[in-house]
Chain A
Amino acid sequence: MNPFRDSKPLQLNAQGQLRHFLTTEGLSRELLTDIINTADSFVDMGAQSVKKVPLLRGKTVVNLFFENSTRTRSTFELAAKRLSADVLNLDIATSATTKGETLRDTLWNLEAMQSDMFVVRHPNSGAAHFIAEHVTPNVAIINAGDGRHAHPTQAMLDMLTIHRHKGDFSTLKVAIVGDILHSRVARSQIHALNILGADEVRIIGPQTLLPTDIESLGVKVYNDLDQGLKDVDVVIMLRLQLERMQSAFLPSQGEFYKLYGLTRERLKLAKPDAIVMHPGPINRGVEIESEVADCAQSLILKQVGYGIATRMAVMSMAISGQQTGTLTD
């Protein structure tokens, strides 16, 4: 039973346009392509001496972070500012008991400030979905990561990266390597890659770090990195989420690197022009060799800039979807 099965209608308006962005799951190829194309236009805006467009002028965006994040929060903040929106950053300390009514109360207070968008990061799966269900109409919700469930803007910035550097998805073999079990990024990437028609999506990691139902998502599972990397076009490394690993999933960090660390030698198994991606922050020498992170095939720093463009696209599309949606409601 999937508790998020209703995300699809919830995040679209009557015309099928985005009005919240909660998950990549269940969205159409056309919509994901629209996100990529719009983001692509925002990347090129970097050529302007004034790196700002007036699209969201007069709108208020609240970054509502119940969980720490530097990169995601700052790129969302920059994205909103480059769209000319006013931004409020709220870091809300939370515990496992801060849910339900208290979350709703927080929400009502923020709505009273006439916000137009909440960017939500929360340690619990389904938090952004919950907020989207309870928020007043005309307020857009962007999921900036909820528990192990989804991180759709990260997945879409990765799709933009692949699109810009590799082109057509239908010919590509993509490998996602590492701690899939704890990774909301991996889940969102798998959905997006399948919707966009990637030729093959491979999941590579130790059995203890793979979710039991992973094959049902339409991926090929490898426990051996060398086998999994063979002839791939794209290698996406995931961060070993040390802070999420209280119980013994792994013998040791050193052991993990020996088996699943991406080294220069191993990268040679992939296609010669394969690209290397990582959502960051990277742990050098834990999941990726330092030289690989800095090599010409690595797009890790480019991804940061693409992240701003992708977030600008999703934010303007969701505000747009809220507005055009209300005309026919």
Chain B
Amino acid sequence: MTLSTQRNIDGIDVEQLLQTMTAELQQQLTERGIDKPMLIGIRTGGVWLAERVNQLLGLDAPIGVLDISFYRDDFTRVGLNPKVQPSALPEATEGRDIVLIDDVLMSGRTIRAALNEIFDYGRPASVLLMTLLELQANELPIRADIVGQRLSLRPDQQIKLSGPEPLALTLLQRESLSRDSQQSA
């Protein structure tokens, strides 16, 4: 999938992106012969997106929810997230084909943590990664299989997904960045 890289988020229609991404996901699932994927969203933005993708795919099974707070690699620097909530996977991940969904792929550290957590629930058959945005700031060899939009932000910019209804993207400038949003992605 080739995507243009753009600097602003004006005109990004999250719902439209999700429909395009879901169509591509469906195609990849078909190519791989997967008819019962297990959707897992990363709290919080990824969960909203996973719910919508689940709807669009017409799947009956509930999505899984991951809170990766206990798996972060920056615990020794920033400490424990006091707002941690339990992860909830509806079924065992052992042998399942998983679609892992997050809002923003930036450093790749959240995905590293999420993969570790998923494996602690059992060994999946496969994991596909789907992210709404990819910010091209990788610090780890992790790339998404399905990307809605690639963006390049200035160092003083950050992007935030709000939702669940409606799903919308907001561009934040450094001075308005909260501690919470610095920890995301």
What residues of chain A have their CB less than 8 Å away from a CB belonging to chain B?
17, 34, 37-38, 40-41, 43-45, 47-50, 52-55, 316-317, 320-321, 323-324
CB distance from A16 to the nearest CB of B (A): 11
Partner of B67, one of A41, A54, A324: A41
CB-CB under 8 A from A317, the residues of chain B are: 80
Q: Which of B51-87 contact A (CB under 8 A)?
A: 67, 69-71, 75-80, 82-87
Tell me if B88 counts as interface (CB < 8 A to partner A): yes
What residues of chain B have their CB less than 8 Å away from a CB belonging to chain A?
67, 69-71, 75-80, 82-89, 92, 94, 116-117, 119-122
CB-CB under 8 A from B117, the residues of chain A are: 53
* Cβ-defined contact, A49 with B79, below 8 A: no
Partner of B120, one of A34, A48, A321, A323: A48
Q: Considering the chains assembled together, what is the distance between the CA atoms of A34 and B81 in angstroms?
A: 10
Of the candidates B76, B85, B88, B117, the one having the most CB atoms from chain A within 10 angstroms of its own CB is B76
17 A-B pairs with CB atoms under 8 Å apart are A37-B83, A37-B84, A40-B86, A41-B67, A41-B69, A43-B86, A45-B70, A48-B120, A49-B92, A49-B120, A50-B120, A53-B71, A53-B117, A53-B120, A316-B80, A321-B79, A323-B76
CB-CB under 8 A from B80, the residues of chain A are: 38, 55, 316-317, 320
Q: Taking CB as reference atom, which chain A residue is nearest B85? A: A41
CB-CB under 8 A from B69, the residues of chain A are: 41
Q: Considering the chains assembled together, what is the distance between the CA atoms of A320 and B80 in angstroms?
A: 6
CB-CB under 8 A from A43, the residues of chain B are: 86
CB-CB under 8 A from A320, the residues of chain B are: 75, 79-80
CB-CB under 8 A from A44, the residues of chain B are: 86-88
- Pairs of residues from A and B, 5 with the lowest C-beta to C-beta distance, nearest first: A320-B79, A44-B86, A50-B120, A324-B79, A53-B70
Partner of B71, one of A34, A41, A54, A316: A54
Q: Considering the chains assembled together, what is the distance between the CA atoms of A41 and B80 in angstroms?
A: 13
If A48-B120, A48-B121, A54-B71 touch, whether A38 touches B82 (CB-CB below 8 Å) is yes
If A316-B80, A323-B77, A324-B79 touch, whether A49 touches B70 (CB-CB below 8 Å) is no
Q: Considering the chains assembled together, what is the distance between the CA atoms of A38 and B84 in angstroms?
A: 6
* Cβ-defined contact, B79 with A323, below 8 A: yes
Of the candidates A34, A54, A321, A323, the one having the most CB atoms from chain B within 10 angstroms of its own CB is A54
CB-CB under 8 A from A48, the residues of chain B are: 120-121
In the complex, besides A316-B70, A316-B80, A317-B80, 6 extra interface pairs with C-beta distance below 8 angstroms are: A38-B82, A41-B67, A41-B85, A43-B86, A321-B79, A324-B79
